[in-house]
C-alpha cells in the first residue's frame, strides 16, 4: 500500500512551464511533519544555505565594537594613564586660579574652565587650564565641594621633567559623591 501526500507550493514560472500534470516532481519530504515538505526544483533547497543570512552579523558586530567600545577606549585610556602617572610620580604644588570662563559643553550643559598659574621646581611660572568644572550656579553639594576644592586650595600635580604636563586635583575622572546618611 502506498501513502500519498497532497500539498501545494509556490514555484517559479519556468519550473511550472517545464512540467505537466502527472509528472513527478522533486520534493524535500519531512517525515515527522509532512506540512513542512516542499518542492525542490533545480536542487534549490540544498544550494541555499540558511546560514548565509548570518554572515554579515559578525562583521557588523566588529564594526559596532570598533566604533563604540575600542575607539573611545583608545581615546580615553592614554589621558587616564597620563593623569594616573602624574598622581603617582608627579610633584605637588599649589596654584592660583587666574581666570574662569563658562562655556557650553553640549550634553553636559554649561561648564566652567579655569586658567591657573603655578611655579615649577625650576622657578618658572607655568600656565595650565582645567575644563568641565561645574558652574557657580550649580547648587548641589557635590558641585560646591568640587569648586571649593579647586578654587580655595588649587592643588597641582606636574611632571618634574616637563612642567607643561600638569593636572589639577581632583582629576576629571574622579567623581565626588555625597556621603551616605
Give tens-digit pLDDT for 60-82.
888 888 888 887 888 888 888 88
Residue 180: predicted pLDDT: 63
Cell numbers standing for residue 151:
578654587
Mean pLDDT across the chain: 78
Share above pLDDT 70 across residues of the chain, in percent, rounded to a whole number:
78
Please state the domain extents for the chain: 13-53, 78-169
Give tens-digit pLDDT for 121-155.
889 999 998 887 788 887 777 778 878 777 777 88
Region 14-41: mean pLDDT is 73
Furthest C-alpha separation in the chain: 107
List of long-range contacts for 54-60, beta carbons under 8 Å, 24+ apart: none
| Confidence class for position 173, pLDDT limits 50, 70, 90 | low
Backbone dihedral angles phi then psi of residue 143, each to the nearest 5 degrees: -65, -40
In the three-class reduction of DSSP (H, G, I as helix; E, B as strand; rest coil), residue 25 is classed as coil
Cis peptide before 170 (omega within 30 of 0): yes
The DSSP call for residue 31 is S
Give tens-digit pLDDT for 85-98.
888 888 888 888 89
Residues 158, 163: Cα–Cα separation, whole Å: 6
Share above pLDDT 90 across residues of the chain, in percent, rounded to a whole number:
3
Q: How far apart are the first and last CA of the chain?
A: 85
In total, the chain counts a number of residues equal to 181
Backbone dihedral angles phi then psi of residue 20, each to the nearest 5 degrees: -120, 165
Amino acid at each position: 500500500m502506498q501513502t500519498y501526500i497532497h500539498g501545494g507550493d509556490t514555484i517559479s514560472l519556468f519550473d511550472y512551464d517545464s512540467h505537466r500534470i502527472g509528472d513527478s516532481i522533486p520534493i524535500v519530504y519531512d517525515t515527522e511533519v509532512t506540512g513542512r515538505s516542499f518542492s525542490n526544483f533545480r536542487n534549490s533547497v540544498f544550494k541555499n544555505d540558511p546560514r548565509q543570512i548570518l554572515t554579515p552579523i559578525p562583521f557588523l558586530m566588529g564594526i559596532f565594537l570598533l566604533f563604540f567600545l575600542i575607539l573611545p577606549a583608545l581615546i580615553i585610556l592614554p589621558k587616564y594613564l597620563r593623569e594616573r602617572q602624574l598622581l603617582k610620580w608627579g610633584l605637588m604644588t599649589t596654584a592660583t586660579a587666574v581666570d574662569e570662563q563658562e562655556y557650553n559643553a553640549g550634553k553636559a550643559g554649561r561648564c566652567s574652565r579655569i586658567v591657573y598659574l603655578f611655579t615649577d621646581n625650576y622657578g618658572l611660572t607655568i600656565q595650565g587650564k582645567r575644563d568641565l568644572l561645574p558652574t557657580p550656579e550649580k547648587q548641589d553639594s557635590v558641585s560646591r565641594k568640587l569648586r571649593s576644592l579647586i578654587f580655595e586650595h588649587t592643588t597641582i600635580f606636574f611632571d618634574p621633567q616637563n612642567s607643561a604636563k600638569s593636572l589639577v586635583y581632583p582629576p576629571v575622572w574622579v567623581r565626588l559623591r555625597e556621603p551616605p546618611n
